Amino acid sequence: MTNSDLLDRLVTTLKRDIAPAIDDEYLKTQAFMASVVVGKLTRQLALESGHRAAASADLDALVDELRATIEGYDEPGLRAAYTRLAEQREPAALCAFIEALYAARAVIGESTFDRLRRRIRTCLRADIDRRMEYAK
């Protein structure tokens, strides 16, 4: 039995057995609300490994695309930020790359800047959408 299966059973027990057996309205409401909170946690745990894999694949694709684009530009700050992102693959490194991208805007040109910014936003939006999926 997985952790999410165990928590799902707890949610069912709270909703079907515990909450209905409580006479006090405040305590009954608390039991039902606890089932909602645990239900959200259950869904988040169930989706976690798939989301982690998708986020990693998205970041890998982003790093590959960024490399292909910035290779043609001699901008040391942008290259250093890209190298850090490619090595670390973490949010702080992506933030640093975004800062370097804005700093290199004049060097890489407006069209390249806009294309890279849109691509990064697409990756970030997908991450937000995954994080919100369990809230549905």
Using one digit for the tens of pLDDT, what is the confidence trace for 25-67?
A: 988 898 888 888 888 888 888 888 899 999 999 999 999 999 9
d(CA 57, CA 9): 32
d(CA 91, CA 111): 25
Residue 134 has pLDDT above 80, yes or no: no
- What are the start-end ranges of the E strands in the chain? none
Percent of the chain with pLDDT over 70: 99
Return the structure tokens found at 124: 């970030």
Entry pTM: 0.74
H/E stretch holding 125: helix 110-133
Residue 90 has pLDDT above 70, yes or no: yes
